[in-house]
Amino acid sequence: MAKDMNFKQELVGCFGFPVAENPTQAMIEPAFEALGLDWRYLTLEVKPENLEKAVNGARSFGFKGFNCTIPHKVEVIQYLDGLGSSAELMGAVNCIVNRDGKLIGENTDGKGFVESLKKKSDPTGKSCVIFGAGGAARAISVELALAGCSKITIINRSIERAKELIDILEGGVAQACSQSLSTQMIEWNDNYNIPIGTDYVINATSIGLYPDINAKININISSLTPEMIVADVIPNPPKTRLIRDAREQGCTTIDGLEMLVGQGVIGIEYWTGKNPNPEIMRDSLEKIFSA
Ligand code: NDP
């Protein structure tokens, strides 16, 4: 008996430059397979001067969506048809979704982080200390505020960059929040003492990323106390020095793989409408990073 046959795969992917070290394909394709989807996630090197052509290429090939990584997260916006609400507040996009032929920019970095946090704690009314003011810090702080955190302190080496983020938080984000939001910024030059009463401590800088795996983050480790949740965005290696130190202090921890898996889960849900298995995704990444 003749069977229905379909040799056409659906396409998604990641545009970046450089992009060869981006491990996302290794967690997304096993999740597709487990869902029974014959989809492909292509890791595509796109130079900045080719970004517009690449976006048009994705339209022509009928991509269901794609991720954008460094250096495209802001530049890609001008080539899209619209933005999700938190991406609009952040002014940065890392996940594009084809919705009825329109390419809509979303930001899943912070959403993925908040989803992994919510498995351990309810963000409502919480006080957060965030190190960094770049793309990751921006995505995380906006989503934490939208999830109900009431106090956000941004600590960054460059105070100008911290000020840009504080302006975003005190502007559209505060207006979009249902709770009152208090913010503070601190120039980071000394060993920082985490204030008593802090609920979440988050490294959103690139300190600790391979190959500088033993780089010391300027925090007074003895000021970390067991009731705090300590998170690190660094996925490679996942057991950063900060995560190890925080565990020794008795803190609950969230590593960079949880955030990576969290944003991957949301991306797959946006693209396919199906719920992937996060354990399969994490296992695939752990195999890579422990090899
Ligand atoms: P950006 O370049 O936008 O920002 C980097 C931040 O790190 C800035 O705040 C910068 O401070 C700070 N920083 C870098 N080096 C130092 C240092 N030696 N001392 C003090 N501060 C420093 O990068 P992103 O925000 O896009 O990415 C940051 C990290 O987050 C990357 O390592 C990336 O791998 C990770 N990431 C992880 C994701 C995940 O899913 N796990 C998702 C997205 C990102 P300054 O402003 O002063 O230069």
Out of 14, 140, 205, mutate this one to test ligand 1's pocket (max ligand atoms within 8 Å of CB): namely 205
pLDDT, position 43:
97
Structure tokens at 102: 């329109």
Q: Is 5 within the bounds of a domain?
A: no
Q: Is 118 within the bounds of a domain?
A: yes
Out of 14, 140, 157, mutate this one to test ligand 1's pocket (max ligand atoms within 8 Å of CB): namely 157
pLDDT, position 1:
58
pLDDT, position 236:
87
The answer to whether the peptide bond before residue 211 is cis (omega within 30 degrees of 0) is yes
Instruction: Report the CATH number at residue 206.
Output: 3.40.50.720
Same-domain pairing of 56 and 129 = no
What value does the mean pLDDT take over residues 236-255?
Answer: 95
The ligand 1 atom nearest the CA atom of 236: 34
Asked whether 179 and 148 are in contact (CB, 8 A), the reply is: yes
Q: Is 1 within the bounds of a domain?
A: no
Instruction: Report the CATH number at residue 60.
Output: 3.40.50.10860
Ligand 1 atom 6, closest CA? 205
Task: For the beta carbon of residue 29, count every other beta carbon within 10 angstroms.
Answer: 18
Asked whether 116 and 264 are in contact (CB, 8 A), the reply is: no
Asked whether 77 and 83 are in contact (CB, 8 A), the reply is: yes
Ligand 1 atom 16, closest CA? 207
Same-domain pairing of 137 and 172 = yes
Q: Taking 80 as the threshold, does the pLDDT of residue 118 lie above it?
A: yes
pLDDT band at 291 (very low <50, low <70, confident <90, very high): low
Same-domain pairing of 154 and 121 = yes
pLDDT band at 211 (very low <50, low <70, confident <90, very high): confident
* Length in residues, the chain: 291
Q: Is 2 within the bounds of a domain?
A: no
Q: Is 215 within the bounds of a domain?
A: yes
Same-domain pairing of 54 and 185 = no
pLDDT digits (tens, 9 = 90+) for 149-203: 999 999 999 999 999 999 999 999 999 999 999 999 999 988 999 999 999 999 9
Q: What is the distance in A from the centroid of ligand 1 to the CA of 102?
A: 31
What value does the mean pLDDT take over residues 266-290?
Answer: 95
Alpha-helical (H) ranges within the chain are: 24-34, 51-61, 85-90, 109-118, 135-146, 159-168, 174-176, 241-248, 256-272, 278-290
Which residue among 8, 73, 239, 274 is the active-site one? 73
pLDDT digits (tens, 9 = 90+) for 20-56: 989 999 999 999 999 999 999 999 999 999 999 999 9
The ligand 1 atom nearest the CA atom of 158: 47
Total domain count, the chain: 2
Q: Is 73 within the bounds of a domain?
A: yes
Same-domain pairing of 93 and 16 = yes
Q: Is 114 within the bounds of a domain?
A: yes
pLDDT band at 210 (very low <50, low <70, confident <90, very high): confident
Tokens 């981006």 identify what position? 22
Q: Taking 90 as the threshold, does the pLDDT of residue 3 lie above it?
A: no
Same-domain pairing of 124 and 239 = yes
pLDDT, position 84:
94
Asked whether 249 and 102 are in contact (CB, 8 A), the reply is: no
Query: pTM here?
Result: 0.94
pLDDT digits (tens, 9 = 90+) for 60-103: 999 999 999 999 999 999 999 999 998 999 999 999 999 999 99
In this structure, are strands 65-68 and 252-254 parallel, antiparallel, or unpaired?
unpaired
Query: Rounded to 5 degrees, what are φ and ψ at 225?
Result: -120, 155
Q: What is the distance in A from the centroid of ligand 1 to the CA of 209?
A: 9
Ligand 1 atom 37, closest CA? 233
Q: What is the distance in A from the centroid of ligand 1 to the CA of 290?
A: 23
Q: Which residues have any ligand 1 atom within 6 Å of their CB?
A: 109, 132-137, 156-158, 161, 205-207, 209, 233-235, 256, 259-260, 263
Same-domain pairing of 169 and 210 = yes
Same-domain pairing of 286 and 232 = no
Q: What is the distance in A from the centroid of ligand 1 to the CA of 83?
A: 23
Same-domain pairing of 126 and 21 = no
Domain extent at residue 134: 110-254
Same-domain pairing of 274 and 244 = no
Same-domain pairing of 33 and 163 = no
Tell me how far CA of residue 15 lies from CA of 70, 71, 73, 150, 226, in angstroms. 8, 9, 10, 35, 40
Same-domain pairing of 215 and 239 = yes
**Active site includes 216?**
no
Q: Is 186 within the bounds of a domain?
A: yes
